Amino acid sequence: MRARLAIGLLSTAEALGWIGREAGVFARLGVDLEIVRTETTGPVAAAGLADGAWDFADVGAAPIVEANFQGRDTVVVLAAEAYGALFLVGRAGIDRPEAIVGGRVGVLSRGGQMELSAIAILSKWGIRDRVRIEVLGTSSRIYDALAMGAIEAGMLTADFRFWGARDHGMHALSNVGEEFRHVGPCLAASRAFLDREHATAAATVRGFVETIHVFKTERARVMPMLSRYLGIDDAAVVAAIHDFYAARFQRVPVPPEDGLRHLIETYAPLYPDAGTRTLADVTAPEFVASLVAEGAIARLYGAG
């Protein structure tokens, strides 16, 4: 069974496909998981699902839900984290919101999870109209721009937050995902693919669920893989990143209903029929539900 995966960010939160492949989880389940694209912006990832360029995308939930509202065939299948750990990070010397005023905030893309998060926190602080949002394309470019002082703040994952604090004195100004209970990165697909290739979809979802178990319970095995994936050779930083996400990853990776409802409400003013959408329209929960029903997840953790 072949499954093609696009990954949104170079981040531990979206590394489970790569780690599961490296650890042999997917191969054991009979899935040839091909990672066809990395650092794929959310809107591009959603379009690729609808167009059949890839079968799954590991990206922020916001562009998947918005694409669904735009008439594209995109649904959320699972979410490793209940709420995303996406930080607004200030460069060295920027340690409070007021210091951003008149400056620039780096995000990955227009219409993606990072821009949505940046707008939310800047609006809450009352400085949205006094800050310029700049699209920089990749997390590495956002990080480098912060390190060089080319921007005042940027949206980064926890990986870069730990790294930046150590190497460049960066400051985490807000954990925006937690503050606004934004759904974090999700595994998404098209409903057409899920229906057409049900066995492949089911095995791939099982692979993600089993990889979460490996990540949470086999620290010594996972850390070298994580180091290679992130390109970070500092063992202490990699350990901090691993432990942060190991505590966050859900054994039963279902997206929180309140977070999804928030996304639906966010897009309601922009799309005429958004108010009629339900959770069933934007999610495909049956694959994780099936694993729960058969006791597969409980057995992984020795609870059945």
CATH architecture of 86-180: 3-Layer(aba) Sandwich (3.40)
pLDDT in tens, 94-123: 999 999 999 999 998 887 778 888 998 999
**d(C-alpha 201, C-alpha 198), whole Å:** 5
Calpha distance 117→32 (Å, rounded): 34
Q: pTM for the full model?
A: 0.88
Give the domain ranges of the chain: 2-83+183-300, 86-180
What are 24-75's pLDDT values in tens digits? 999 999 999 999 998 888 889 999 999 999 999 999 888 899 999 988 999 9
CATH code: domain 2-83+183-300 is 3.40.190.10
